[in-house]
Amino acid sequence: MGDSSSSQDGVEARKAAIDCVRRIDEYESYANIVLVNAFKKWNFEQRDKNLITEIVYGATRMQRALDWAVDRYLIKPPPAALRASLRIGAYQLLYTRIPPHAAVSTTVEASSKKNRGVVNAVLRRVAEGLPIEWPNESIRLSYPDWLIELVESEYGMREGQEMLEYMNSSPPVTERDDGYIQDLSSQWVVENIDIQPKELILDLCAAPGGKATAMAAKGACVVASDLHHSRSRRMSQNIKRLRTDEVLQVTTDGVQPCFAKSTFDKVLVDAPCSGLGVLHRRADARWRIKRSDVDNLAILQLKLLRSAKELVKPGGELIYSVCTITEAETSNVIKSFTKSVDGLKPVVINDSRWRKKNGGVFLLPQDHETDGMSMFKWEVK
């Protein structure tokens, strides 16, 4: 983050950031939706939009560390508006290159009059106390304890912390040849599906349509299904924008799909998951997901795989992918699945960009600056 002006524009941008962070915290709103609504309400230049986005996502992502940094100087927990001011001010001090005097002065001016005294005093104390000596890694990295314990238990402390550190940074933006914004890991999933011209492929959990349209671009006839109408509407918009005629959109429950058995040459189950491989993209996700959600999602994933297998023609392929890296949602689901059904032959994925594990492949975010992703393939006999 570069230097930021202390002009009125800088103050207005911080007012917007404070309002966004307050809404995310007070109403448990999604950060991306709050920002979209904010930019409809306020007329900002792109430079200010970039600053607001950085501060809002950063303050949301790093809120545990930020709260610890400011709470040392408070007598009692602050109300939501004051908390939001302190978070965005502390974020600028700890994680950007904005000069401390500019970060403090603009944040104070952007705060409500009744909060300015506290904001000024606390942020000055934070600035004077830099660099901070953190009490533990959970607070420094700003994740829930359970998530850090899970990642470190499955990948070791060094690699686990590398992954968590990486997902505290803003992710790169990658664009396909057709202009669709899609992470490389998702593009690589499609690259590792051996698509033949005019094959009939089902994308069982297809929204927002990135993989479905990519498979269609490789010559397949794709049926893109999803259960949720709101997500399906977004997928429909993407399909129309890309002018992809080879995608037929269907709304159906993947656990009990409306298709006949042995209909498709290939079925992709890009299943709902904990999303622990994309926490750098979803600033508030780490505070929403619970440990029990991982196990509940694994149950759903197993059901989806079982139903999907029945839809594949003999000699066809079943593909499973998830943007997460937990054992519960990858190796353990696969073990349960392959033990509970017959007629599956693992298909080896030979791609040096991926790591191999338990018959499939996976990516950690720090490997290639992508999302975390896991992928498995089988031939259905």
Alpha helices (runs of H) in 181-228, residue ranges in sequence order: 184-191, 210-217
321: three-class secondary structure by DSSP = strand
Among 21, 5, 27, 92, smallest CA distance to 60 is for: 21
- Which H or E run includes 379? strand 373-380
Is residue 345 within 8 A of residue 308, CB to CB? The reply is no
Q: Residue-wise pLDDT tens for the chain (381 aa)?
A: 444 443 466 999 999 999 999 999 999 999 999 999 999 999 999 999 999 999 999 999 999 999 999 999 999 999 999 999 999 999 999 999 999 999 999 999 999 999 999 999 999 999 999 999 999 999 999 999 999 999 999 999 999 999 999 999 999 999 999 999 999 999 999 999 999 999 999 999 999 999 999 999 999 999 999 998 888 899 999 999 999 989 999 999 999 999 999 999 999 999 999 999 999 999 999 999 999 999 999 999 999 999 999 999 999 999 999 999 999 999 999 999 999 999 999 999 999 999 999 999 999 999 999 999 999 999 999
CB atoms < 10 A from the CB of 345, how many? 10
Domains and CATH numbers, the chain: 8-136 (1.10.940.10), 184-380 (3.40.50.150)
Active site residue 205: no
Among 20, 205, 273, 323, which one carries the catalytic annotation? 323
